[in-house]
C-alpha cells in the first residue's frame, strides 16, 4: 500500500482535533457504548469524504463486543431452553402443550423435529439448533388425556362419569337377581361399548369386567328365549317369589 505524507499548519491540526472531539462527544451522547475510532481513522475518512470505514469498524465492534453480540450469543446458545421454559411455564398459568394420545415414540420424534426445523427456518437461525430444539419440544409435550385430566375439561368429566357409571352398574349386576340382573347386565354392556368408543375405557378392561361377571354369575350369560311363555313364567316368578322375611328380633323391636 502506498503512503502519502501531508503537512498541515497548527491551526488546521487543531481544527481537525476539535472536529474529532466533537464527533466523539456527539456519538457517545447518542450511544454511550459507541466504539470510538482513532484520530488517524477519523482523518483518513474525512480526507476521503467517506464515513464508511468508521461505520464498518463501529458496527463490527458492536456486533463482536457490544450488547448486541451478548444478545445474539444468548439466543444462539439458549434459544431451545427459552422454548422449553415458555412451554413449562405455560402450564403453571393455565395453558398446556398437548399431543395426540395415539402417537408412538417415533411419531413424536418426527413431529418435534419437523416443528423445530420450521421454527429455525422461519427465524433464519442456525441449523445446529434444530436437534436441541426438537429435544426440548419432545420432552415438554404432554399426552392430551393428561392435559384433559389436569384441566378437567368437559370431555374428561364425561369420561370420568362413564367410568363411575360402569363401576356402579357392575356392582348392581353382582347384587341383583332375576330379570333385574339381566337388565343391569345389558346396561353394563352398553356402557362398556360407549366407554370404548369414547376412549375412557380400554377394550381389555371391558373384557376383564365381563369375564369376571361371567365367572361370578354364569346364569346371566345364558341366552333365554323371550317368547310369551317365558314372559308369563317371569311374571309368575315375580308374583309368587317369597318376600324377604323380617327377623323375629326386628318384629319384637317394632
Question: Model confidence over 45-92: pLDDT tens digits?
Answer: 777 766 555 666 666 665 565 555 555 555 555 566 667 777 778 877
Find out whether 173 and 188 touch, Cβ atoms under 8 Å. yes
Q: What is the mean pLDDT of the chain?
A: 77
Q: Taking Cα atoms as reference points, which of 126, 26, 40 lies closest to residue 75?
A: 126
Q: Which of 20-29, 140-149, 245-254 has the highest mean pLDDT?
A: 140-149
Residue-level pLDDT at 113:
92
CA 203 to chain centre: 27
Across residues 97-107, what is the average pLDDT? 89
2 or 228: which leads in pLDDT: 2
Q: Taking Cα atoms as reference points, which of 118, 159, 113 lies closest to residue 132?
A: 113
Query: Which grid cell is 53?
Result: 470505514
d(CA 63, CA 125): 16
Domain ranges of the chain: 10-65, 73-143, 154-237
Given a cut of 90, whether residue 111 has pLDDT beyond it is: yes
> Binning pLDDT at 50, 70 and 90, where does residue 197 land?
confident
Identify the weakest region by mean pLDDT among 26-35, 77-86, 105-114, 117-126: 77-86
Cα-Cα-Cα-Cα dihedral sign, residues 164, 170, 173, 176: negative
Tens of pLDDT, residue by residue over 143-155, are 888 888 888 888 8
Across residues 192-205, what is the average pLDDT? 85
Burial class (CB in 10 A: 0-12, 13-18, 19+), 80: buried
Angle 157-213-162 from CA coordinates, rounded to 5° = 10
Q: What is the pTM of this model?
A: 0.45
Amino acid at each position: 500500500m502506498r503512503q502519502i505524507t501531508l503537512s498541515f499548519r497548527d491551526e488546521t491540526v487543531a481544527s481537525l482535533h476539535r472536529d474529532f472531539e466533537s464527533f466523539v462527544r456527539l456519538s457517545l451522547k447518542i450511544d454511550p457504548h459507541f466504539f470510538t475510532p482513532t484520530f488517524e481513522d477519523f482523518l483518513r475518512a474525512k480526507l476521503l469524504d467517506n464515513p464508511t470505514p468508521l461505520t464498518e469498524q463501529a458496527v463490527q465492534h458492536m456486533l463482536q463486543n457490544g450488547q448486541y453480540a451478548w444478545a445474539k450469543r444468548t439466543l444462539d446458545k439458549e434459544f431451545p431452553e427459552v422454548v422449553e421454559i415458555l412451554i413449562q411455564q405455560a402450564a403453571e398459568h393455565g395453558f398446556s402443550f398437548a399431543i395426540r394420545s395415539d402417537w408412538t415414540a417415533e411419531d413424536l420424534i418426527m413431529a418435534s423435529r419437523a416443528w423445530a426445523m420450521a421454527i429455525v427456518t422461519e427465524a433464519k437461525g442456525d441449523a445446529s439448533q434444530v436437534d436441541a430444539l426438537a429435544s426440548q419440544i419432545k420432552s415438554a409435550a404432554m399426552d392430551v388425556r393428561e392435559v384433559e385430566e389436569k384441566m378437567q375439561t368437559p370431555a374428561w368429566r364425561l369420561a370420568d362419569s362413564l367410568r363411575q357409571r360402569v363401576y356402579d352398574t357392575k356392582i348392581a349386576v353382582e347384587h341383583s337377581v332375576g330379570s333385574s340382573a339381566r337388565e343391569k347386565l345389558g346396561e353394563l354392556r352398553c356402557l362398556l361399548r360407549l366407554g370404548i368408543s369414547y376412549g375412557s375405557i380400554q377394550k381389555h378392561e371391558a373384557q376383564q369386567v365381563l369375564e369376571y361377571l361371567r365367572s361370578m354369575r354364569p346364569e346371566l350369560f345364558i341366552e333365554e328365549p323371550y317368547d310369551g311363555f317365558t314372559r308369563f313364567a317371569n311374571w309368575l316368578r315375580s308374583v309368587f317369589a317369597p318376600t324377604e322375611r323380617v327377623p323375629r328380633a326386628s318384629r319384637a323391636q317394632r
